Amino acid sequence: MQDQFRLSSFVKILKQGNPRLRLEKRATPHLLNQLFDNNPRTTIMSNKTLSLSASLIVILCINAMPSAFAEKGFSWKDEPGKHVDLQKDGKNIARYVYERMDPKDRERTYKPFHHVYQSDGKEFLTKGPGGKFTHHRGIYFGFSKCTAQDKDGKKVGIDTWHCKRGYQTHEKIISQEGGEKAVQKVEIAWRIDDGTVFATEQRQLTFSHREDGSLQVDFESNLSTTQGKVDFDGDPQHAGFQFRASNEVASTTAKQTYYVRPNGGKDAEGKTKNWPGNKDMKDLLWKGQSIVVGGKRYFTVYLDHPSNPKPSFYSERDYGRFGSYFKTEITPSKSLSVKYRLVIKQGERTAEECASLSKEFLK
């Protein structure tokens, strides 16, 4: 009787999943009829003796259960044409915003980017369109001074940071994996306003949780071109790979923001250092940012890699944007490849912890 009760609780689940199972009929006929009714893909082996324990059902049906009972780990949930959310065990972790650029809604749609959620998985830790400097978007990559050729072969200047005279469009998701870690690879076209694609980016982000519960985000990008030469330039405030925290920081908690740096360690709240005013803000291996969002303090470690183009110049703001940029060029035979790592946690970190994370990244 107890086995029958346990078994019946799984009947609805198994019907919805329509699992491909081969089972010996070792249960009472009325339970099996209930279980396999309208399930033509199931083959049942008949025996004279019929009995089936609920424990056997549980073991056999692990892979057939619906999402509420799915294997734990990272998974992706798409809102077609808009964005795809990264979830872990049903909780939101990150979001890739990829809505196609709409000329009637240009400011909101002119570049794809990644959001990161706060620790509760409900609100974003990062900023989207609008607010202080609408072009700052979560985890993003671009240059305010690009030089390329338009459709007529004329050399023109393009800004993929503020998206003036140019913009970025999501083209496709190349691959997307979940499980113990999540890997997403996408193709993004860097365009001139006439539609010309002057560079093609393959952008890959890998998400994982570290032992201390912090979120590790590995960012990799490869930019290629079919044009003779494309130049990328800008300045520390308007180019490169950067992170922008929620607009709540700008509007409410900016004076609580502080930075931790390789030279000097933890600085006072509200204090910032930037190239070129601060000459030591060059070719750093790491930098730490501490902000307050949703009444909680979060810490992001930005890790640079020596293989990225150098020199690199760093910028930081109390409203929550920080990162670095460099100058470079690409040709059909010479693409640009970069890699960075962000480690994000609720709480704080010391300079020693940041340096240890950098050393690990360089291995």
> Does 148 lie in the same domain as 37?
no
Distances (CA, A) of 361 to 302, 309, 348, 354: 11, 17, 19, 11
pLDDT value at position 72?
76
The boundaries of the domain holding residue 234 are 130-361
Tell me: the pLDDT tens digits for 209-239? 999 999 999 999 999 999 999 999 999 999 9
Q: Which residue has the tokens 């959310």?
A: 85
Alpha-helical runs (H) found in the chain: 2-17, 29-36, 54-60, 106-109, 247-248, 351-361
Give the residue, 68 or 103, on which the prediction is more confident. 103
> Does 58 lie in the same domain as 147?
no
* pLDDT at position 15 over 70: no
Domain ends where: 28, 53, 69? 69
Cα 151 to Cα 132: distance, rounded to the nearest angstrom: 34
Structure tokens at 60: 């056999």
Per-residue DSSP letters for 207-231? EEE-TTSPEEEEEEEEEE-SSS-EE
Q: How many structural domains comprise the chain?
A: 2
Tell me: the pLDDT tens digits for 114-139? 999 999 999 999 999 999 999 999 99
Give the residue, 30 or 107, on which the prediction is more confident. 107
> Does 172 lie in the same domain as 63?
no
> Does 138 lie in the same domain as 64?
no
Domain ends where: 34, 53, 69? 69
Domain assignment present for 125: no
pLDDT value at position 283?
98
Least confident of 28-32, 184-188, 231-235: 28-32
> Does 343 lie in the same domain as 206?
yes
Domain assignment present for 189: yes
Tell me: the pLDDT tens digits for 313-341? 999 999 999 999 999 999 999 999 999 99
Per 3-state DSSP, the chain is made up of helix, strand and coil in percentages (nearest 5) of: 20, 40, 40
* pLDDT at position 99 over 80: yes
Residue type for 306, please? P
Domain assignment present for 80: no
Domain assignment present for 92: no
* pLDDT at position 312 over 90: yes
Average pLDDT, the chain: 86
Tell me: the pLDDT tens digits for 346-358? 999 999 999 999 9
The CATH number for 251's domain is: 2.70.98
Binned at pLDDT 50, 70 and 90, residue 203 comes out as very high
> Does 293 lie in the same domain as 188?
yes
Domain assignment present for 186: yes
> Does 345 lie in the same domain as 267?
yes
> Does 136 lie in the same domain as 231?
yes
Domain assignment present for 41: yes
pLDDT value at position 58?
41
Residue 298 near residue 258, CB atoms below 8 Å: no
Give the residue, 51 or 283, on which the prediction is more confident. 283
Domain assignment present for 108: no
pLDDT value at position 26?
39
Q: Which residues on adjacent β-strands are paired with residue 200?
A: 189, 224
pLDDT value at position 49?
40
Binned at pLDDT 50, 70 and 90, residue 140 comes out as very high
Other C-beta atoms lying within 10 Å of the C-beta of residue 40: 7
Cα 279 to Cα 297: distance, rounded to the nearest angstrom: 29
Domain assignment present for 309: yes
* pLDDT at position 60 over 90: no
> Does 347 lie in the same domain as 199?
yes
* Maximum Cα–Cα distance across the chain: 87
Tell me: the pLDDT tens digits for 238-270? 999 999 999 999 999 999 999 999 999 999 999
- Cα dihedral 102, 108, 111, 116 sign: negative
> Does 232 lie in the same domain as 142?
yes
pLDDT value at position 2?
45
> Does 139 lie in the same domain as 33?
no
* pLDDT at position 36 over 80: no
Tell me: the pLDDT tens digits for 145-167? 999 999 999 999 999 999 999 99
What whole-number percentage of the chain has pLDDT above 70? 80
Domain ends where: 16, 36, 69? 69
Cα 260 to Cα 299: distance, rounded to the nearest angstrom: 10
> Does 283 lie in the same domain as 175?
yes
**R_g (Cα) of the chain, nearest Å:** 25
